[in-house]
Structure formats: structure tokens, C-alpha cells
Amino acid sequence: MKIPVYIGRDNVETLALSMEDDKENAVDIGDFLVSVNRIVLATETVVVDSQATPAALVLDAAARTLACTLGQSFSDPGNYPAQLIFYSPGYPNGFVWIDRHGAADQRLTLVVADGV
């Protein structure tokens, strides 16, 4: 999955957060998303933390979507493989939702371009 990011712009891109409930470990994804209290989107060079910039990563747990406004977080164009980590009381050290080292069809890449 690729997300366009325009440097210096306020474009919002919305990610659909799809994952099956983990019945084996009794995890309901809807309940988990409601409990999320912090989100981190990390590349090798940029970290966007919802605690530092709440408007950059806005979770709608009911709709299972994440609105990303990242144009103020990047200064150099390029492709940035990203990792998405959710924190909650049940996962205080973080739960990796998307791993930048995962299978190609499961990766998240930020395609950063000049906003001009």
C-alpha cells in the first residue's frame, strides 16, 4: 500500500485498518482499536508520534480508519517504507500493525513529493 505525502501540505490520506479478529487469542480488533492511546508511524529517518503531533495521526476506531496528515513531518522527497505501531493498556510496549520489513503486499510506503 502506498500513501502520497506532499511536503508542507495538509493533505489527508485515510488508511483502512483491516485485520481479522484473533479468535485463538481472544482478541477483538474493534475492542483493541477503542483502547489505543498512542500511534507511532516510523520510517528509518522520520518518526511521527500521535502524542507529539495529535493531528498527524487520527484514529477512528468505529470506522477502523486512520487519517494521516504527514506533509509537515517530511522535508526530503523519496519513498519511505513505514512501520505503524499502536499502543494501548494491553500493549504498553506497542503492537506492530504494519511492519516495514513485511511481505511486499503488506508493506506501507510513504511516497513523499514536493508540495509545489
pLDDT at 73: 94
Say what the pLDDT of residue 11 is. 93
- pLDDT for the residue 28: 72
Residue 100 confidence (pLDDT): 65
What is the reported pLDDT for 19? 67
**Domain of 41, in residue numbers:** 2-114
* pLDDT value of position 75: 93
- Phi, psi (deg, nearest 5) at residue 80: -120, 105
List residues bridging with 98 in a β-sheet.
84
Structural domains counted in the chain? 1
**The pLDDT of residue 101:** 66
Residue 67: which CATH number?
Answer: 2.60.40.10
Q: Within the chain, which residues score under 50 in pLDDT?
A: 21
82 CB-near residues (< 8 Å, 6+ apart): 41, 42, 43, 98, 100, 108, 109, 110
